[in-house]
Structure 1
Amino acid sequence: MEISEIIIAGDTMGIEWRLPVFRFAGIEPGAPRTYIQAALHANELPGTALAHFLLEKLRHADRNGAILGDVIIVPQANPIGAAQTHFGELEGRFDLGSRTNFNRDFPLIALRERGSLLENIDRYPATDRLKRHLLHMALGAELILDLHCDDEGLQYAYIDEAFWPEAADLAAALDMKAVLLSDGESSAFEEAVAYAWKYQAEGERKTRLPGRLSVTVELRGTRDVSSETARNDAEGVWRFLVGRGVIAATLPEPPVFAGKAVPLDNVEMIRAPQAGAILFHRDIGESVKAGDVLATIVTKPGMPDGTVEVRAPQDGLIVTRVSTRFARRRSDLMKVACAEPSRAIRKPGTLEA
């Protein structure tokens, strides 16, 4: 195992950030190479805890000569965001300087242009330099896991349709309850990786990418950080790596994915019609019917007409729920995965900013 650091100089004097990178050299040249990062949104820590226990297993495998394909692990992929605390709260999701989501605006390049990511890199601001380093490392691998979490959520993933259903092995290994299938056309990290693979040949767009995978894994909610869940998640990733031929090990017959897989268009984003206190009636993991009351918003406390009900627009599975109990008008409340496309008008691409 090799441990190195990528140093990101700050945009003002006397500041720099250090990005630890763990590398394991595989012994089989043809085995898949893997890149795993966690906490790109710096306040999402279930992936960091997973990486801690996965590294323990990888060190043991390395000593026994069981690592077949190169593996790179970045347990805390965003030291810039981890240093940005606002009024006692770690922001983590948005850069306070540029107001940009740390998981947006990754360069969209063809794979053959990978080397250009680090050319004249000092001309870019720190956040862009960080993104370019991360993307450069990822594009040297075939299997990429970007570990995130939701606010309150089930175990689920965003997976480009180009990887499905081959990626069902990952969904099964991590016991995911849902998979949200996308067209992969945004500037989020995992989609920037897929973009480079799709457009690796000039004038050609691949629609299937066998043997490759770039995925955003949502490891439940922000508070689901414990030794037990992290160890279980690390075991799940370990099973996936063994199944894909990255690690040499004998395991029982792999499980079969039994969750729900739906296109992003079939996800109902449940939003608050007015501002107020949120009284949830249904929880994550519950199946609901069209018309079921999902939440009540207390808009005018104490008044006879002081509440507004929020109902399910169609049948579906509640995948996420916000942890806050105050809503602004049009605030997100839930994601519900449904069998039919949503009739709500929304921008194409990712569901949230």
Structure 2
Amino acid sequence: MKTEIETIAGETPGVAYQLTVHRLTGSDAGAPRTYIQAGLHADERPGVAALHYLIPMLEQAEAEGRLLGSITLVPHANPIGAAQHLFGDHMGRFSMGTRVNFNRDFPVPGKDGVRALDTATAPVFAERRLKSRLLELADDCPIVLDLHCDDESVQYLYVPEPLWPEMADLAACLDAEAALLWDSGSDCAFEEAVFEQMTARARESGGNLSGHCVTTVELRGQNDVDAGLARKDAEGLYRFLQGRGVVAADDSATPDLRADFVARQIRHVEMVEAPAGGTILFHVAPGERVQAGQMVAEIIVDPGCSGGAVAVTAPQAGYVLTRRIRRFVRMGDNLLKIIGDNQAVASRTGALED
């Protein structure tokens, strides 16, 4: 494995950021190339922990001649966000300089099919140059995995609808519980930008997208960071790479999807919002089924007083995907994501949250 430390200049004198890039060289030029990054939302650490265990496994495969496809790994994809702390709290989701989500506004091909990337010396904010560089590193890789997590959550994937169900192998290898399928984007997240470029190149070459895989992998919740889970995720990713011909396969059988796996279009997601501000008492957890009208949470507005708690009910029957990690909420904040049995928002195409 070769490691490169790239420098991203800051916006003011004396400020710079380091981006660590690991490259492993495969022995078969025809095997799929792979790009994996973690920590784009810099306060989301399960993916970083998974790569801590995956990288040595891939190094061993490379040393033993079992690595077929070349792999690029970026374990800390957002050094800018990693450095953002306010009064001891890590602020890794939004840029403090521009207030833009670090996983939004990636460059995508225009109507002419051309994608304009910012160079390393372009006179723009550092985060824009970082986003362009991450896309460059992922270019020409048919397999691109962006490792994230949610607040409190089951493990699930965001998947471009044209790549499903072919990408069910990744969900099975990771023992994921759900997949959200999208058919068009609106927020230019990393996954969307990569997929648009893939699609544009496939059109140019007259080819198809079979064998391609691009996804945001939500590795459970923010606090699900421990050695056991990280090893399990690393082993799942390794099995997936074996199944896709990136690493020479052993005799292990490819796993099946969980019997209770849920795959729905993103339009089925109900974003349950807080009708009042206060302290949250959840009555359901991620992974549970709910019925329409079932109480899913209470919000304590006036503690101890009659009528001092506001009930929150499920808008329809479905599967609880995520819930808020903090237990104090403002009116209008998101409380839960529920994958409804029926379509929830006909026009939803892009991000579920800011």
Q: TM-score, normalised by structure 1?
A: 0.95
Alignment correspondent of 2:162: 162
Matched, 1:189 2:190: yes
8 Å contact 1:35–1:141 — kept in the other structure?
yes
Task: Report 1:143-182 matches (<5 A).
Answer: 143-182=143-182
Which secondary structure state, in structure 1, belongs to the residue aligned with residue 281 of structure 2?
strand
Unaligned stretches of 5+ in structure 2?
A: none
Alignment correspondent of 2:338: 336
After superposition, what is the alpha-carbon deviation per residue over 1:14-39, rounded to whole angstroms, capped at 9, x for unaligned?
01100000000111011000000000
Shift of 1:119: 4.3
Alignment correspondent of 2:277: 275
Alignment correspondent of 1:15: 15
After superposition, what is the alpha-carbon deviation per residue over 1:140-194, rounded to whole angstroms, capped at 9, x for unaligned?
3110000000110001011110110000000000001000111141300011000
Task: Give the letter aligned to residue 123 of structure 1.
Answer: P
8 Å contact 1:290–1:315 — kept in the other structure?
yes
Q: Alignment RMSD, CA only?
A: 2.0
Q: Which moves more between the two structures, 243-252 or 16-25?
A: 243-252
Alignment correspondent of 1:28: 28
Task: Give the letter aligned to residue 161 of structure 1.
Answer: E
Task: Report 1:92-171 matches (<5 A).
Answer: 92-109=92-109, 113=114, 116-117=116-117, 119=119, 121-171=121-171
Task: Report 1:195-214 matches (<5 A).
Answer: 195-200=196-201, 209-214=209-214
What is the alpha-carbon distance in structure 1 between the residues aligned to residue 274 and residue 120 of structure 2?
A: 46
After superposition, what is the alpha-carbon deviation per residue over 1:203-242, rounded to whole angstroms, capped at 9, x for unaligned?
9999x62111110000001111111110110000000000
What percent of counterpart residues are identical? 47
Which secondary structure state, in structure 1, belongs to the residue aligned with residue 176 of structure 2?
coil
Instruction: Find the partner of 2:264 among 262, 265, 271.
Output: 262
Which secondary structure state, in structure 2, belongs to the residue aligned with residue 51 of structure 1?
helix
Q: TM-score, normalised by structure 2?
A: 0.94
Alignment correspondent of 1:230: 230
Task: Give the letter aligned to residue 59 of structure 2.
Answer: R
Task: Give the letter aligned to residue 12 of structure 2.
Answer: T
What is the alpha-carbon distance in structure 2 between the residues aligned to residue 120 and residue 249 of structure 1?
A: 38
Shift of 1:124: 2.1
What is the alpha-carbon distance in structure 2 between the residues aligned to residue 333 and residue 197 of structure 1?
A: 35
Task: Give the letter aligned to residue 179 of structure 1.
Answer: A
Task: Report 1:310-325 matches (<5 A).
Answer: 310-325=312-327
Task: Give the letter aligned to residue 352 of structure 1.
Answer: E
The alignment of Structure 1 onto Structure 2 pairs a total of residues equal to: 350
8 Å contact 1:184–1:195 — kept in the other structure?
no
Q: Which moves more between the two structures, 218-227 or 193-202?
A: 193-202
8 Å contact 1:82–1:92 — kept in the other structure?
yes
8 Å contact 1:169–1:240 — kept in the other structure?
yes
Alignment correspondent of 1:56: 56
What is the alpha-carbon distance in structure 1 between the residues aligned to residue 204 and residue 235 of structure 2?
A: 41
8 Å contact 1:272–1:330 — kept in the other structure?
yes
8 Å contact 1:159–1:215 — kept in the other structure?
yes
Alignment correspondent of 1:299: 301
What is the alpha-carbon distance in structure 2 between the residues aligned to residue 332 and residue 121 of structure 1?
A: 39
What is the alpha-carbon distance in structure 1 between the residues aligned to residue 340 and residue 205 of structure 2?
A: 33
What is the alpha-carbon distance in structure 1 between the residues aligned to residue 176 and residue 349 of structure 2?
A: 25
Task: Give the letter aligned to residue 4 of structure 1.
Answer: E
8 Å contact 2:184–2:349 — kept in the other structure?
no
Matched, 1:250 2:255: no
What is the alpha-carbon distance in structure 2 between the residues aligned to residue 121 and residue 201 of structure 1?
A: 30
Q: Which moves more between the two structures, 253-262 or 71-80?
A: 253-262
8 Å contact 1:319–1:337 — kept in the other structure?
yes
After superposition, what is the alpha-carbon deviation per residue over 1:64-88, rounded to whole angstroms, capped at 9, x for unaligned?
0111011001001000000000111
Task: Give the letter aligned to residue 351 of structure 1.
Answer: L
After superposition, what is the alpha-carbon deviation per residue over 1:290-342, rounded to whole angstroms, capped at 9, x for unaligned?
11100001122233222211101111111111111111011111111122111
Alignment correspondent of 2:3: 3
Alignment correspondent of 1:285: 287
Alignment correspondent of 2:353: 352
Q: CA separation of 1:112/1:125 partners in 2, compared to 1, >3 Å: closer, same or farther?
A: same
Q: CA separation of 1:252/1:146 partners in 2, compared to 1, >3 Å: closer, same or farther?
A: same
Shift of 1:118: 5.1
Which secondary structure state, in structure 2, belongs to the residue aligned with residue 122 of structure 1?
coil
Alignment correspondent of 2:43: 43
Q: CA separation of 1:205/1:41 partners in 2, compared to 1, >3 Å: closer, same or farther?
A: farther
